[in-house]
Amino acid sequence: MINRGIDFFNNEKYNEAEEVFEKIIQERIIEKDYRTALYYLGYIMCLREKFSEAKNIYKELLEISRVEHDMENSAIMYHQLGMVERLNGHLDKAIDYFMFEKNTRKCYLEDDFVGFSSNYYELALLHLRKSDVEKAKSYLDLAMMNGIISEDDTTIGICYKGLGDVEVHTGDLSKAKKWYCDSKRYFENAKDEHKIKEVQSMIDKL
């Protein structure tokens, strides 16, 4: 049943996905499926701007991870909580959660280069939204370094997209276009159609 819910989610059929996930959560027969259903339901709550519900979901998953001393999932839940706060416009709270994630990774997950890249990327964009361009660039440098080490095309593409976002913020649209085109190239290598369309839309707006 969990795979059916994930398929609905991936195809943006969120009502159907929510119905499946709610059933799994209510029944709680397989613990792994229960946690996966909660994770995806949190995403759906964010899409619907039900940030309080999303935050409660990820706090529950964080507490489960802490009890089980599961540092990888603890880091992931800090990341999700940061995402919730970012989407809700609470930038300083978001930064706090992403810093908790960063410290958890440094202590327990030092070889998770994709995870570090994603974390630094989020911190970069948060500081960009606060108009701290230098700090944003510094975090993007760290994100790109970890992305290159990971050799993950999607991760590297996301970093280039972030560099483009910085140049849009500073008004250098020609440089932004270059970074977005580099981003698109990596997404094409990864065959990530969703991100290809996303970055192409950004190029078209320049």
Mean pLDDT for the stretch of residues 156-174 = 98
Count CB atoms within 10 A of the CB of residue 38: 18
Q: What is the pLDDT of residue 65?
A: 97
List, for residues 57-92, the tens digit of each pLDDT value. Answer: 999 999 999 999 999 999 999 999 999 999 999 999
The model carries a pTM of 0.94
Separation CA 70–CA 63 (nearest Å): 10
Q: What is the pLDDT of residue 135?
A: 98
- Give me the DSSP letters along 128-147: HHTT-HHHHHHHHHHHHHHH
Separation CA 188–CA 131 (nearest Å): 31
List, for residues 121-141, the tens digit of each pLDDT value. Answer: 999 999 999 999 999 999 999
- Tell me the average pLDDT of the chain: 97
List, for residues 2-30, the tens digit of each pLDDT value. Answer: 999 999 999 999 999 999 999 999 999 99
Q: What is the pLDDT of residue 7?
A: 97
